[in-house]
A and B are shown apart, each in its own frame.
Chain A
Amino acid sequence: MSGWSTLQLTEFFSAITRAGTIVTAARLAVQRAAEATDAEVAAVVCGDDVPASVGLGRTPSESLFTSLDTATDTASFPGVGPMHVTVHTLDRDTPDRLIVARADEPFAAEERQMLQGMARVTGLALRGLRTLEAERQLRLEREREAGARLELVQALERRERLLETLLRVQRSANQRTPLAEILDMITSAASGLLDGVAVALVLRDAVASVSSGVCDGDTLIEAARQAISSGGQVECGLLTAAPVHIEGEVAGALVITAVAAVRDAERRDVLAAFAEQASLALTGAHTLAAVHEARHDPLTRLPNRTLFLQRVEETLDASPAAGAAGLLYLDLDLFKQVNDTLGHAAGDELLRAVAGRLRAAVRDTDMAARLGGDEFAVLLEPLHHRGQAREIAQRIIDSIALPYDIAGRTIHTRASVGVAYSGGRSAERLVEEADFAMYRAKKTAKGTFREFEPDMRPELPQAV
């Protein structure tokens, strides 16, 4: 389920940037927020008005929503009964808020973070639209000075650029751009929007990313510390800092230097929006990395035994026909000698190189994994006939047998491969059979493959 919330946020961004009026933007916000969290009720509250709500009919009493503030976590609605509630401010300077209510379970930290992101984007969109409406008003009145008009138009343009930039960063985050690049994108984009001032992201007492612009590292870190301990935006000399979170925990801060040409409210908005963007990117990366790490071998980056067995099980369930899938079990000959004579570092490098060749020798639909030590396995799926499995096994053997250049020396190794075919077997059993076949290959002719036959079973010593 990891990552679903940041993806929903991207969809939200795309939808809300298309809204042309305050009512449409508010309506989109309540619909999408409710749908993303399977919530029954949602509303946007602006002052004493409720420009949009869903879930309580066409004209619910506005006081049902205006009475709820950020401290509310449960509320009872007429007919629906008690519900879990989460309330998020749209804007730092007003009490405007997005309210979402759900009957079945409380909102998780990830959901609240996503909704906060949605609320912030809604706030920016509403402000932009209000500016637009104000500008239209100005044109009608004609008596205001040209300078004031220009300022408003510029503010509006900046607001639009802000939304576009946030959307671009969000898309990159979802396209698995490396985290460091996303963080640089955030600091440079924020800097670009604030007339080129310095923007820095401080994580765990170190500057993780900084836009072009001059500023002193220690001063930045001090401002970040203050924001971290206060839990909100702080002014620290000429700097303003806002905390950044990873999975709801404060992990650092986004810091900007003072801007002469941009008004305070505007600067605070940009800072808050990008701090949230950084939080989401970091949380997403953190979750994805954790999931990846739990299921992959850190040395070769191949799937580990857990993930491999899970995939084999899924494949056997999905394609139960005999021979619809095959499994290769590989063991490296001479690996121990490399480890013993050249050291573990060379051994590790050899394993990485073997993993790379293995990856290149199998098809896109196959899955290569490291089961441990110098043992690897490959799930072959789909398999139309046994000839395919033999061909791939031979390709792997040939590829692994080519010389390796490691630590300035030429090293040779070979793989012995066992092959087993699906059909009425569990995943564990299939691996076991391929292992038996590999053992037979290793015993009779190293650097070849053998296919499992039932009589191979008893030959294996009991202790293995």
Chain B
Amino acid sequence: MGASAERWFGVGRSLAADPAKAGAEACREALGGRRAGLLVVFASLTHATREMAEAVHAEAGGDVLMIGCSTSGEFTPDGRGAGVVVNALGGYDVSVRAVPHDSVDLYEAGIRAASCLDDIDAENRVVLLLGDGRSGDQQEMVRGAYTVAGALVPLVGGCAGDNVTQTGTFHFFSDGTEVQLLPNAVLGAALGSPVPFGIGAAHGWRRVGEPMVVSRSENGIIHELDGEPALDVYLRRTGGAPELANDPDAFLQFATVRPLGLARRTGEDIRVIFQADPETRSIFGLADTPEGAMVWFMEADTDGLVDAAPTAASAAIEGVGSEALGLLVFDCCVRSIALGADGTDLAASRLRDAIKPTPYGGFYSNGEIIRKTQAKGMHHLTVVALAFG
């Protein structure tokens, strides 16, 4: 898709109960009568259907590049909810790739998704990745993508959500005419522009108390901390009731907002704990926590959490260097649990006020991606923003 002289960004949202209707409405609003070069679609699990994806694509004229994924809720300046959000972009050089689930390993999937960059020759480039936080270690996917993008091209994006049901995610894709609904896939879109893309990230968590050593772990399961059964240490240090160990739902609610942080050169790498085994006294993390690593408990500071989205978005806009046309925002779904409904609303209104009147579309994600200087790639409990100039 060649770049035209004028670049634009439009966003539309619909909460209509019928997925296809919601898709068409959201797309119509995003386009505002213009012809898009790329559609970026975020849809709640209830709306993540082939009919929805086809309706969005048809509404845009039936011959347009499209990427998108299921979410744990979406948001725009009009508010947050469970429906469909369509972001439409025009005037950028764009190329897209889709890698179906289990077709290759995640490292190779990252290479293939990012290889859309080969098609783009522009002064400023970025790779937008939509991964799947449910299938394995997405850091491997980001590593693969980085071998293609390298130091010069930032990687940004998020992992698809499933309304925190732990069931499975879907991706929507079109490289022109055909529309695909792909479970647990990895998608990439490379964009080129004469002006820089801006990126930003923030989280609002901090370490608390004394560090512990992961004395036994494998594949994301932590068996021992400081030589003691990990579950016992975890509940004691967080003040959790012993009964939590036997109630998976209550433990999930409790533990997701009490993550561990791994020691890193600049700050911590956050690991979300989501499950406990009362028999083996182990705890389970969303990503690998290597044996021998030193970890801290991480604590949420409410103000920091609320301000993470406006902080990330403002940093992204600053990176554009001129007026931003719009933003994509990837906001970890666990942050909403930590903030509660009121806090999430407050965070949403602070984001809107901070970057008014710039339009944006975002979703609550299962992992956030930002690979640039000082950032490793795959993140959790974080907000990542990409601004278009």
Within 8 Å CB of B264, what residues of A? Answer: 4, 8
Query: Can you pick out 23 interface pairs between chain A and chain B where the beta carbons lie within 8 Å of each other?
Result: A1-B263, A3-B263, A4-B264, A7-B263, A7-B292, A7-B293, A8-B263, A8-B264, A8-B265, A10-B291, A10-B293, A14-B291, A35-B377, A36-B265, A38-B266, A38-B373, A54-B143, A54-B146, A55-B146, A80-B152, A175-B215, A318-B208, A382-B239
Chain A residues touching B, range: 35 or more
**A104-B265 in contact given A4-B294, A174-B213 (Cβ < 8 Å):** no
Contacts of B237 in A (CB 8 A): 365
Inter-chain contacts of A58 with B (CB < 8 A): 111, 147-148
State whether A4 and B263 are in contact (beta carbons under 8 Å apart), knowing that A38-B374, A104-B373, A174-B294 are contacts in the complex: yes
Residue from B147, B227, B292, B299 within 8 A of A10 (CB atoms)? B292
Residue numbers of B with Cβ under 8 A of A are 111, 143, 146-152, 208, 213, 215, 227, 236-237, 239, 263-266, 290-294, 299, 301, 373-377
- Contact call A41/B151, Cβ cutoff below 8 A: yes
- Which residues on A sit within 8 Å (CB–CB) of B373? 38, 40, 103-104
Question: Which chain A residues border B213 with CB–CB below 8 Å?
Answer: 174-176
The interface residues of chain B lying within 8 Å CB-to-CB of A36 are 265
Cβ contact within 8 Å between B265 and A4: yes
B143 cross-chain contacts in A, Cβ below 8 A: 31, 54
Q: Is A131 an interface residue (CB 8 A)?
A: no
Query: Which chain A residue lies CB-closest to B295?
Result: A7
- Check A174/B292 contact, CB under 8 A, given A38-B265, A104-B373: yes
Report yes or no: B374 in contact with A56, Cβ–Cβ below 8 A.
no
Chain B residues, CB < 8 A from A10:
290-293
Q: How far is the CA of A364 from the CA of B232 in the complex (A)?
A: 13
Q: Is A300 an interface residue (CB 8 A)?
A: no
State in angstroms the CA–CA spacing of A77 and B150 once bound together: 12
> How far in angstroms is the closest Cβ of chain A from B146?
6
Among B143, B150, B290, B377, find the residue whose CB has the most chain A CB atoms closer than 10 A. Answer: B150
The reply on A11 being an interface residue by CB < 8 A is: yes
Nearest Cβ on chain B to A165's Cβ, whole angstroms: 15
Q: Is A399 part of the binding interface, using a Cβ–Cβ cutoff of 8 Å?
A: no
Query: Which A1-60 residues have a C-beta within 8 angstroms of B?
Result: 1, 3-5, 7-8, 10-11, 14, 31, 35-38, 40-41, 54-58
Q: Which residues of B contact A11 (CB under 8 A)?
A: 290, 292-293
| Complex contacts, B374 vs chain A, CB 8 Å | 38, 104
Interface residues of A in 161-177 (CB under 8 A from B): 170-171, 174-176
CA distance A58 to B152 in the complex (A): 12
Closest to B211 in A: A3
The minimal Cβ–Cβ distance linking B238 to chain A, given in whole angstroms, is: 10
- When distances are taken between beta carbons in the complex, the residues of chain A under 8 Å from B293 are 7, 10-11, 174
The verdict on A79 contacting chain B, using a C-beta distance below 8 Å, is yes
Does A314 make an interface contact (CB < 8 A)?
yes
Query: Contact between B227 and A80 (Cβ–Cβ < 8 Å)?
Result: no
Counting from the closest, the 5 A-B pairs by CB-CB distance are: A10-B292, A40-B151, A4-B263, A11-B290, A55-B151
Identify 17 new A-B residue pairs, CB closer than 8 A, beyond the known A11-B290, A37-B265, A38-B374. A3-B263, A5-B265, A10-B292, A35-B376, A38-B373, A55-B146, A56-B151, A104-B373, A170-B292, A174-B292, A174-B293, A175-B227, A175-B292, A314-B208, A318-B301, A364-B236, A382-B239
B279 to chain A minimum Cβ distance, whole angstroms, is: 24
The residues in A between 335 and 382 inclusive whose CB is less than 8 angstroms from any CB of B are: 364-365, 382
